[in-house]
Copies of this chain bind each other. A is one copy, B any other.
Amino acid sequence: MCELMGMSANVPTDICFSFSGLMQRGGRTGPHCDGWGVAFYEGGGLRCFHDPQPCHSSAIAQLIESYPIKSENVICHIRQANVGRVSLANTHPFSRELWGQYWSFAHNGQMQAFSPQAGPFQPVGSTDSEAIFCDLLNRLRARFEQRPALAELMDCITAACTEYAEQGVCNLLISNGEWLFTLCTSKLAWITRRAPFGPAQLSDVELAVDFKEHTTPNDVVTVIATAPLTSNETWQLYATGEWRVWQGGETLLQGRLAG
């Protein structure tokens, strides 16, 4: 299994602290040695970093840990390969342009027998995850020629996710830079930090931060992760089948998959 991490914030915020904890699981405190990647949105732009190297020893991961790239929507993934060999093309997050926006996608789970519908979006690599992403985009574009309203879009996404979840484990993070869609079919947790901000201590490495020193009173920052990243805060656990759309650090829409 892989590890997911996402962030939704109402002001551009860096992920250096959370990433420092997560990257330990990429070969040191966790077995996820088969590459890692992160996608940062800045306005409509998307900045991705991918590395098929273990992230605890990656020069690019060290840059991300030390260089504060600020974003309102972030998706991060560290990989323990099951379907698809270790290679750059198989490294999440995957991204594609749809309706003039960059979509990005990271998956934790396994769906060995997944057979995607044919369509213009085609996988480059050989993971089940990228096949699911392309299948989802093909469904969306077949259904909507231009971008629909959010509720209509989420109806279509969650209907597809219901089918995917019937076929295997499918914890997902998806963003188009405006919102962050999150789905838990087995394991996902979240925490929202807002004023009064306090100190946080990572679980995976001796590192603490006092968010008071890095925030303003209006900041709202939600971090979503496969497993809680800090040891002194209370994370909320997603229920099985629960999905949430985050925007500006707040839940905009939420629900449970049918079935």
Binding site for B on A (CB under 8 A): 42-52, 59-60, 63, 67, 87-91, 96-97, 99-102, 120-125, 141
Contact (A88, B122) CB under 8 Å given A59-B67, A60-B67, A67-B60: no
Min CB distance A11 to B, Å, is: 17
Q: How many copies does the complex hold?
A: 2
Chain B residues with Cβ below 8 Å from A43 are: 87-89
**Other 15 A-B pairs with CB < 8 A, given A44-B89, A101-B124:** A42-B52, A44-B124, A45-B50, A45-B88, A45-B89, A45-B124, A46-B89, A46-B124, A47-B51, A59-B67, A60-B63, A60-B67, A63-B63, A97-B122, A100-B122
Chain B residues with Cβ below 8 Å from A97 are: 96, 121-122, 124
Bound: A46/B43 CA distance, A? 22
Min CB distance A255 to B, Å, is: 29
Chain B residues with Cβ below 8 Å from A45 are: 50, 52, 87-91, 124-125
* Max count, chain B CB within 10 A of own CB: residue among A67, A91, A124: A124
Bound: A147/B174 CA distance, A? 28
Chain B residues with Cβ below 8 Å from A50 are: 45, 47
Chain B residues with Cβ below 8 Å from A47 are: 50-51, 88
A-B contact pairs, 6 of them (CB 8 A): A45-B52, A45-B87, A47-B51, A59-B67, A97-B122, A101-B124
Contact (Cβ within 8 A) B100 A46: no
Bound: A229/B52 CA distance, A? 31
Chain B residues with Cβ below 8 Å from A123 are: 100
Contact (Cβ within 8 A) B122 A99: yes
Query: Which residue of chain B has the shortest Cβ distance to A134 in the bound complex?
Result: B97
